Amino acid sequence: MTNSLICSDESDTISAGVELSESISKLITKKSVVVFLEGDLGAGKTTFTKGILKGLGYGELVKSPTFNLVEIHEIDGFKIFHFDLYRINEEIELEEIGLDEYLQERKAVCIFEWPKIAENLIPKPDFHVSIAYTSPSVSNDRKIVIS
């Protein structure tokens, strides 16, 4: 499955995340789900995550985990771990924050912003989301590709 769309504002990006949450909802009953989010700084990775959480029924504030490295949200008996690995320089740092424990959680969704540093430590993603500006000098549009 590869889906591509253009989002022109924050609400479009949130809607795209809500759309992906439908597929996540189907998988979470069977296994934990891993989502990779890739894109430049400010491209909309956390905004997309807000949409995923909204679609899963989460109604509270969703903020970037940049300084905490992980934000934890609970919804109807399962957990969502939202990681931002931008500031991670070495795999050992992920071991120190207990990455293995998060990944072993049953009925969980693990969302990774900047997943490249952890590729050797985390399972292959169920969903890979790429967010890129279509033409930053001309518009604020972003192309989102979900595979």
In one letter, which amino acid is 25?
Answer: S
Domains in the chain: boundaries: 3-146
pLDDT digits over 77-133, tens only?
889 999 999 988 888 888 888 888 998 888 899 999 999 988 888 899 999 999 988
Q: Is residue 145 within 8 Å of residue 3, measured between CB atoms?
A: yes
In one letter, which amino acid is 100?
Answer: D
pLDDT digits over 75-86, tens only?
888 899 999 999
pLDDT digits over 47-64, tens only?
999 999 999 999 887 877
Opening angle at CA 79, ends 9 and 61, nearest 5:
40
Q: What is the pTM of this model?
A: 0.91
CB burial readout 57-66, b (16+ within 10 A) else e: ebeeebebbe
The second-level CATH assignment, the architecture, of 3-146 is: 3-Layer(aba) Sandwich (3.40)
